[in-house]
A = this chain, B = another copy of it.
């Protein structure tokens, strides 16, 4: 960025991703898988930083392939070079950039991102296990990328190689979402095996060619719940499994994190209404986040009628009609409306259960 005397283009500005922090943690927005012309991406490394800043990201990892360099006739192979070029620009913006690389093998075992590397070149080993061993020596966070890649109907298969990695404590993370693909079976595995859930763009093109940013179409990100805005805190959170995946209007993660994200996003406004003698009331529900919450009724409290389905639109307030019989409000804790949030997934087919309490 030159020291221009006129700085006006709106495009060159940062839009925050409106998802709240939760108690004890900052909610950092991270994309941990992307490419540049130093492997098979189509942009110069600094572009990845500019894109990330504009889109409200806090953390990125450029993970150029170790074994795949289609442009090597023109661009010499230079491991770690994309990180080196991008880093000063990330610093200018105050973005955290993580040194990374993608080990790129036929399935099985497939592709694996290694994050927090010191020496990318050392990962370039003919044998897959040697490469992984080197990543381990460097203390890398190792994640299985797009597990459904090139499998029938994109359904991932868990091969012996994955068992070996997992048993040796070397499958720290797994992509539940990669670009436009969502792997529900990967989500199940992450829940069962306590593998850190990851969502990434794996972007190769300029981001605007794959996502229509003006229309709120955005890349998948990993929400990392970190104690601090530092690389060290991100690393600790990843190893500790403190993540959720935000993709399209879907939020995927454990109840431990989705629960506070939901309750810190919404607010109920009851006005001065007196519910004690029953009747029809209108409750305003504010959703301050950019995620629309799609609620479906999850049980039938006696004496209370309320919408079977309701969407709490992003950054909007909706009016919810509630009909109470006289005795519905005997409960001293107020009336509780039971819902499941369909697009907040805590497992394959299970949305987060929530309670809206009217007092």
Q: Scoring A residues 207 to 224 as 1 if CB is less than 8 Å from chain B, else 0, what string do you get?
A: 111111111000000000
**Residues A44 and B37 in contact, CB atoms below 8 Å apart:** yes
Tell me, rounded to whole Å, the shortest Cβ–Cβ distance linking A53 to chain B.
8
Task: Report A57-86 residues with CB < 8 Å from chain B CB.
Answer: 71, 74-76, 78, 81
For the complex, what is the distance from the CA of A74 to the CA of B76, rounded to whole Å?
6
A3: contacting residue among B10, B210, B280, CB under 8 A: B280
Known pairs A14-B284, A37-B37, A37-B44; A9 contacts B210 (CB<8 A): yes
A188 at the interface (CB under 8 A from B): no
A4 at the interface (CB under 8 A from B): yes
For the complex, what is the distance from the CA of A233 to the CA of B288, rounded to whole Å?
27
A326 at the interface (CB under 8 A from B): no
- Inter-chain contacts of A271 with B (CB < 8 A): 94
For the complex, what is the distance from the CA of A318 to the CA of B153, rounded to whole Å?
24
A166 at the interface (CB under 8 A from B): no
Binds B, one of A121-129, A191-199, A302-310, A331-339: A302-310
Number of copies: 4
Q: Scoring A residues 314 to 342 as 1 if CB is less than 8 Å from chain B, else 0, what string do you get?
A: 01111111010000000000000000000
**Residues A51 and B209 in contact, CB atoms below 8 Å apart:** yes
A44: contacting residue among B43, B280, B292, CB under 8 A: B43
Q: Scoring A residues 257 to 282 as 1 if CB is less than 8 Å from chain B, else 0, what string do you get?
A: 00000000000010100000000101
Chain A residue total in the interface (Cβ 8 A): 68
- Inter-chain contacts of A6 with B (CB < 8 A): 307-310
A93 at the interface (CB under 8 A from B): yes
- Inter-chain contacts of A214 with B (CB < 8 A): 212-215
A15 at the interface (CB under 8 A from B): yes
A12 at the interface (CB under 8 A from B): yes
- Inter-chain contacts of A47 with B (CB < 8 A): 42-43, 205-206, 209
A interface vs B, CB < 8 Å? Answer: 1-16, 37-38, 42-44, 46-47, 50-51, 54, 71, 74-76, 78, 81, 92-94, 180, 205-215, 269, 271, 280, 282, 284, 292, 305, 307-311, 313, 315-321, 323
Q: Which 4 A-B pairs have the closest CB atoms?
A: A208-B208, A206-B206, A214-B214, A13-B316
